[in-house]
Structure 1
Amino acid sequence: MKILIIVFLLIYNFYELSCFKVEKLILKSNKINNLKITQISDFHNNIFINERRLVKSIKKFNPDFIFITGDLISRNTKDFSKVENLLQNLSNFKIYFVEGNHERENINNKKFYNILDKYNVINLSGDFKRIENVNIYGNKFGTSYDYTSDLDLNFYNILLTHDPIDFLGNIKKYDLVLSGHKHGGQLRLPYIGQIIDHGPKFFPKYSKGLYNIEDINFYISSGLGQSICLRFLNRVSYTNIEIKNGG
Structure 2
Amino acid sequence: MVKILVILFFLGILFILWQKWELTKFEVTDYAVMSEKIKKAHRAIVITDLHGFTYGKKNQHLLEKIKDCNPEMILIPGDLIVSKYSDTFGTALELLKELVKIAPVYYSFGNHETRLRSPEKMNHCAFQNYVEEAEKIGVKILNNKSFLVSELENIRIIGLELPVGYYEKGRIVPMKSDVLEDLLPMPEKNDYVILLAHNPAYAEYYAKWGADVTFCGHNHGGLIRIPGIGSLLSPQLTLFPKYDAGKFQKEGKDIIVSRGIGTHTFHIRIFNRAELLNIQFLPK
- Fold match (TM-score > 0.5): yes
Aligned partner of residue 66 in structure 1, secondary structure: strand
Partner in structure 2 of residue 89 of structure 1: 98
Task: Compute the displacement of 1:208 (Å).
Answer: 0.5
Aligned AA (1:121): V
Aligned partner of residue 117 in structure 1, secondary structure: helix
- Determine which structure has the larger helix proportion and give its number: 2
Task: Compute the displacement of 1:144 (Å).
Answer: 3.1
Partner in structure 1 of residue 258 of structure 2: 221
Partner in structure 2 of residue 112 of structure 1: 130
- Out of 118, 140, 152, which is 2:188 matched to? 152
Q: Please report the RMSD computed on the Cα atoms of aligned residues, expressed in angstroms.
A: 1.8
C-alpha distance 11-115 of structure 1, shift in aligned 2 (>3 A): farther
Distance 2:273 2:95 in 1: 20
**Is 1:68 aligned to 2:76, yes or no?**
yes
Partner in structure 1 of residue 18 of structure 2: 12
Task: Compute the displacement of 1:162 (Å).
Answer: 0.7
- Out of 182, 204, 215, which is 1:168 matched to? 204
Q: How does the TM-score come out when normalised to structure 1?
A: 0.92
C-alpha distance 233-77 of structure 1, shift in aligned 2 (>3 A): same
CA contact (8 A) 1:69 1:161 kept: yes
Partner in structure 2 of residue 40 of structure 1: 47
CA contact (8 A) 1:141 1:166 kept: no
CA contact (8 A) 1:211 1:219 kept: yes
Task: Compute the displacement of 1:167 (Å).
Answer: 4.4
Task: Compute the displacement of 1:27 (Å).
Answer: 1.8
| Structure with bigger gyration radius | 2
Aligned partner of residue 144 in structure 1, secondary structure: helix
**Is 1:193 aligned to 2:263, yes or no?**
no
Aligned partner of residue 120 in structure 1, secondary structure: coil
**Is 1:128 aligned to 2:146, yes or no?**
yes
Partner in structure 2 of residue 140 of structure 1: 161
Paired positions, count: 244
Distance 1:77 1:144 in 2: 30
Distance 2:235 2:25 in 1: 24
Task: Compute the displacement of 1:89 (Å).
Answer: 1.4
Partner in structure 2 of residue 53 of structure 1: 61
Task: Compute the displacement of 1:11 (Å).
Answer: 1.9
**Is 1:240 aligned to 2:278, yes or no?**
yes
Q: Please give the per-residue CA displacement for 1:106-159, whole angstroms capped at 9, x wherever unaligned.
A: 42311221231132111101111112220111111336363464x434221111
Distance 1:152 1:237 in 2: 32
Bigger relative contact order (CA 8 A; separation at least 6):
1
Distance 1:25 1:14 in 2: 28
Distance 2:20 2:192 in 1: 39
Q: Please give the per-residue CA displacement for 1:75-100, whole angstroms capped at 9, x wherever unaligned.
A: 12212332222112112210000001
Task: Compute the displacement of 1:15 (Å).
Answer: 2.6
Distance 2:264 2:66 in 1: 23
> Unaligned regions of 5+ residues in structure 2, if any?
1-6, 117-122, 164-178
CA contact (8 A) 2:78 2:107 kept: yes
CA contact (8 A) 1:73 1:102 kept: yes
Aligned AA (1:233): F
Q: How does the TM-score come out when normalised to structure 2?
A: 0.80
Aligned partner of residue 23 in structure 2, secondary structure: helix
Aligned AA (1:134): I
Q: Please give the per-residue CA displacement for 1:13-56, whole angstroms capped at 9, x wherever unaligned.
A: 12322111111101222222111110000000014x22101101
* Paired-residue identity, %: 28
Task: Compute the displacement of 1:199 (Å).
Answer: 4.6
Distance 1:136 1:55 in 2: 23
- Mean Cα displacement is larger for which, 106-115 or 55-64? 106-115
CA contact (8 A) 1:188 1:233 kept: yes
**Is 1:21 aligned to 2:27, yes or no?**
yes
Distance 1:180 1:233 in 2: 17
Distance 1:26 1:203 in 2: 26
Aligned partner of residue 110 in structure 1, secondary structure: helix
